[in-house]
């Protein structure tokens, strides 16, 4: 199965302040209150964290695989 990798723009209401916000592939970050939903709610499979250019480093409470 070869799904396209182009992000899909989606919108939702912020679950914290109710603002209408846009996101990509079901992932959101509210610019008004700072709420973000879980990346697990996204509609596609993410690359591993290490593949992200913004990867800040391993989380301290999660051993590296």
| Interaction site with Zn ion (CB under 5 A) | 14, 16-17, 19, 30, 32-33, 35
Long-range contacts of residues 32-35, Cβ cutoff 8 Å, at least 24 apart: none
Nearest approach, Cβ of residue 33 and Zn ion (Å):
3
Of 17 and 46, CB closest to Zn ion: 17
Of 1 and 9, CB closest to Zn ion: 9
- Residue 5: CB atoms within 10 A of its CB come to 7
Task: Using alpha carbons, select from 35, 39, 44, 64 the residue that is nearest to residue 4.
Answer: 44
Nearest approach, Cβ of residue 13 and Zn ion (Å):
9
């Amino acid at each position: 199965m070869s799904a396209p990798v182009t992000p899909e723009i989606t919108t939702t209401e912020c679950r914290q302040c109710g603002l209408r916000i846009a996101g990509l592939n079901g992932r959101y970050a509210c610019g008004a209150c700072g709420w973000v939903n879980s990346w697990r709610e996204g509609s596609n499979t993410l690359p591993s964290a290490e593949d992200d250019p913004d990867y800040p480093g391993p989380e301290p409470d999660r051993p590296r695989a």
